[in-house]
């Protein structure tokens, strides 16, 4: 492996960062960090019709959010800039011209109509649709005349017939293509912008990219790139084509079948750690059974050799599990800012709850949540008194003698002063003993009365967190409400 490892993530600013893009970016990032190389962000904005306002900012923001910091890029600069392809137009024209001079490319003046017609005819004859090289045979004078007349033109690659092009890929080995099936690819469009193929090759060379790590959808066009490198007299980078991310029905991951934008996952409450962890495991494995990874460990373990060849279905269930795992891995203090953010967006924001209170909730709920949001919506009883009582639990746990038992307990609770968790427990157990009943006969009704539901943290934690006064209030209202409902 060469000493100067330089890789790049080169998205088009067409909207948001796709999870497939995230995976590609991540693998580039991991490879760079692992090998002490450079990770570069380059914006491939050569299709003006697909350009979306604000997409670049959005891309950068989400990349920052997940922690994929790049060494060179549009907003951080670098010695190989500019990092927007739209600002590098002269460069592409320079090399396109060089190719023309060498006979590897040529001007073409076809109208879109002719091209369309040509295609249809070829399709009808069941031929491979490709340009017929009509304008390759224009004389220099004719070309000059048309150019001077201001006729719209494109520049096409002059692909030679019946040659073999070998693509060497670290993940897939050697792939052979015959040039007969390769079209005379347009290099420069009639609007003066380059196509991906030219821009990509020129920039990768100029930016000294050592490894091209990108999605598998690029494999079929790699022979064109190889030709370009050859004609320009440039050294080939190492290619690595990553397996695709798939929908559950095994088609290429797309919207329609679930969320596809990284920002959607962020909005849904996924931790960046979980997303990174999950996406890293889609098509890569260290060769062992480890599944829980932090970024540093990924960097340490990553290698292109560990990348799979087959596409991977994006399995949301596993992401969910990993999200829970990462929540559990974090301390309550680390979780606090995340929970606060959710809390402040919630209907309970005006409660002015203290950090201490939130911390208690976090500790009580950490083992039972999958999302940060769950710290609020899965345990609303920490924020408000129950509005209703779960009927199934009611039926199962609220017996005829329950109100009486609860009243006794209530009296005991009222005597408590500044009770700790242990005080609640002691009191409840002692009361149960006094009444000659199992502690469960009190525990379950108390939980129901205080939380309205039959699940959650241990009751004594619950009571302690909610606090004596509120506990008493809630038990009293439960006694009232449930009695009246029974009658």
Q: Is residue 244 within the footprint of RNA (CB under 7 A)?
A: yes
Residues 10-39 that bind RNA (CB under 7 A): 10-12
Region 182-211 residues binding RNA, contact defined as CB under 7 A? 183, 186, 189-191, 193, 195-196
Q: Which stretch binds RNA (CB under 7 A): 97-105, 175-183, 205-213, 232-240?
A: 175-183
Question: Is 313 near RNA (CB under 7 A)?
Answer: yes
- Cβ closer to RNA: 54 or 344? 54
CB nearer to RNA: pick between 320 and 408:
320
Contact pick of 324, 386, 445, 452 for RNA (by CB under 7 A) = 324
For the bound state, the minimum distance from the C-beta of residue 10 to RNA, rounded and expressed in Å, comes to: 6
Taking CB under 7 A as the criterion, the residue among 93, 266, 368, 481 binding RNA is 368
Residue 458 sits in the site that holds RNA (CB under 7 A): yes
Q: Which is nearer to RNA, 112 or 337 (CB)?
A: 112
Q: Strand pairing partners for 43?
A: 84
Place of tokens 């003993």: 433
Of 320, 342, 336, nearest to 270 (Cα)?
Answer: 320
Binding pattern for the stretch 330-349 against RNA, x by CB under 7 A and - elsewhere: --------------------
Interface with RNA, residue 392, by CB under 7 A = no
> Which H helix or E strand runs over 107?
strand 105-108
Q: Which residue, 217 or 341, has its beta carbon nearer to RNA? A: 217
By CB under 7 A, residue 312 contacts RNA:
yes
Selected range binding RNA among 59-67, 92-100, 181-189, 467-475, rule: CB under 7 A: 181-189
| Count of alpha carbons within 13 angstroms of residue 223, beta-carbon side | 19
Q: Does 218 bind RNA (CB under 7 A)?
A: yes
**One of 58, 460, 471, 475 touching RNA (CB under 7 A):** 460
Nearest approach in angstroms of CB 280 to RNA is 9
**Cα–Cα distance for residue pair 200/212, rounded to 1 Å:** 10
Q: What is the DSSP string of 431-455?
A: HHHHHTS-THHHHHHHHHHHHSSS-
Give the angle subtended at the CA of 206 by the CAs of 204 and 212, to the nearest 5°. Answer: 15
Q: Are 276 and 27 in contact (CB under 8 A)?
A: no
**Window 436-455: residues binding RNA (CB under 7 A):** 439-440, 443-444, 447, 454-455
Residues 280-299 that bind RNA (CB under 7 A): 281-283, 285, 287-289, 291
Kindly state whether residue 315 participates in binding RNA, applying the rule CB under 7 A.
yes
| Residue closer to RNA, measured from CB, 27 or 231 | 27
For RNA, give the closer residue by CB, 123 or 351: 123
* One of 26, 63, 219, 274 touching RNA (CB under 7 A): 219
- Residue 356, H or E segment: helix 355-365
Tell me how crowded residue 173 is: count the other CB atoms within 10 A of its CB: 9
Contacts of 316 (CB under 8 A, 6+ apart): 258
Binding-residue pattern over the window 394 to 433 for RNA, x denoting contact by CB under 7 A: ----------------------------------------
Query: In angstroms, what is the minimal distance from the CB of 196 to RNA?
Result: 4
251-258: long-range pairs with CB below 8 Å, 24+: 252/217, 253/18, 253/19, 253/20, 253/314, 258/314, 258/316
The stretch near RNA (CB under 7 A) out of 62-70, 143-151, 317-325, 402-410 is 317-325
Candidate residues 243, 269, 445, 452; the one interacting with RNA per rule CB under 7 A: 243
Q: C-beta of 446: minimal distance to RNA in Å?
A: 8
Residue with tokens 């190719």: 99
Residue list 63-122, contact with RNA (CB under 7 A): 110-112, 115, 119
Q: How far from the centroid of its chain's Cα atoms is residue 158's Cα?
A: 39
Size of the site for RNA (CB under 7 A): 87
CB burial class (10 A; 0-12, 13-18, 19+) of residue 373? middle
126 touches RNA (CB under 7 A) = yes
* Cα-based distances in Å from 357 to 95, 223, 415: 64, 61, 23
Q: Using the rule CB under 7 A, which residue among 117, 251, 392, 477 binds RNA?
A: 251
273 binds RNA per the rule CB under 7 A: no
Q: CA separation (Å) from 54 to 72, 91, 463, 482?
A: 20, 25, 49, 55
Which window, 143-151, 201-209, 243-251, 351-359, contacts RNA (CB under 7 A)? 243-251
As a whole number of angstroms, the distance between CA 394 and CA 300 comes to 53
Question: Which sequence positions are flagged as catalytic?
Answer: 255
Name which position in 54, 77, 103, 152 contacts RNA (CB under 7 A): 152
The Cβ-side half-sphere exposure at 373, using a 13 Å CA radius, reads: 11
Rounded CA-CA distance 59/74 in Å is: 11
CA 148, 86, 20: angle at the middle one, nearest 5?
Answer: 135
């Amino acid at each position: 492996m060469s000493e100067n490892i330089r890789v790049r993530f080169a998205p088009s600013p067409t909207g948001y960062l796709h999870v497939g893009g995230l995976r590609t970016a991540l693998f580039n990032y991991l490879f760079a960090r692992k090998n002490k190389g450079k990770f570069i962000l380059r914006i491939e904005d050569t299709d003006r019709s697909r350009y979306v306002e604000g997409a670049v900012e959005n891309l950068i923001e989400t990349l920052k959010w997940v922690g994929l910091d790049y060494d060179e890029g549009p907003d951080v600069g670098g010695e190989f800039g500019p990092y927007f392809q739209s600002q590098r137009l002269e460069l592409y024209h320079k090399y396109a011209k060089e190719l023309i001079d060498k006979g590897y490319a040529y001007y073409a003046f076809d109208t879109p109509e002719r091209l369309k017609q040509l295609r249809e005819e070829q399709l009808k004859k069941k031929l491979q649709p490709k340009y017929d090289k009509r304008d390759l045979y224009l004389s220099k004078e004719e070309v000059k005349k048309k150019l001077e007349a201001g006729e719209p033109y494109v520049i096409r690659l002059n692909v030679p017939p019946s040659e073999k092009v070998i693509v060497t890929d670290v993940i897939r080995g050697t792939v052979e293509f015959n040039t007969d099936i390769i079209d005379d690819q347009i290099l420069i469009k009639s609007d003066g912008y380059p196509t991906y193929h030219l821009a990509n090759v020129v920039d990768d060379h100029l930016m000294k990219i050592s490894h091209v790590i990108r999605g598998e959808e690029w494999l079929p066009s790699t022979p064109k790139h190889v030709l370009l490198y050859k004609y320009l007299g440039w050294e080939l980078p190492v290619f690595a084509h990553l397996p695709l991310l798939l929908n559950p029905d095994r088609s290429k991951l797309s919207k329609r079948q679930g969320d596809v934008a990284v920002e959607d996952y962020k909005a849904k409450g996924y931790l960046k750690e979980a997303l990174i962890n999950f996406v890293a495991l889609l098509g890569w494995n260290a060769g062992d059974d480890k599944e829980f990874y932090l970024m540093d460990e990924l960097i340490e373990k990553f290698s292109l050799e560990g990348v799979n060849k087959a596409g991977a279905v994006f399995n949301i269930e596993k992401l969910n599990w990993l999200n829970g795992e990462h929540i559990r891995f974090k301390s309550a203090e680390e979780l606090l800012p995340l929970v606060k953010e959710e809390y402040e967006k919630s209907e309970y924001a005006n409660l002015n709850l203290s950090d201490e209170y939130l911390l208690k909730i976090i500790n009580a709920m950490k083992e039972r949540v999958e999302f940060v949001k769950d710290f609020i919506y899965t345990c609303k009883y920490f924020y408000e008194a129950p509005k209703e009582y779960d009927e199934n639990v009611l039926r199962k746990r609220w017996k005829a003698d329950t109100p009486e038992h609860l009243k006794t307990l209530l009296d005991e609770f009222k005597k408590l002063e500044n009770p700790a968790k242990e005080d609640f427990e002691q009191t409840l157990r002692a009361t149960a003993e006094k009444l000659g009943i199992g502690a469960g006969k009190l525990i379950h009704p108390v939980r129901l009365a205080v939380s309205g539901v039959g699940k959650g943290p241990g009751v004594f934690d619950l009571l302690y967190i909610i606090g004596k006064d509120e506990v008493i209030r809630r038990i009293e209202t439960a006694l009232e409400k449930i009695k009246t409902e029974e009658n």
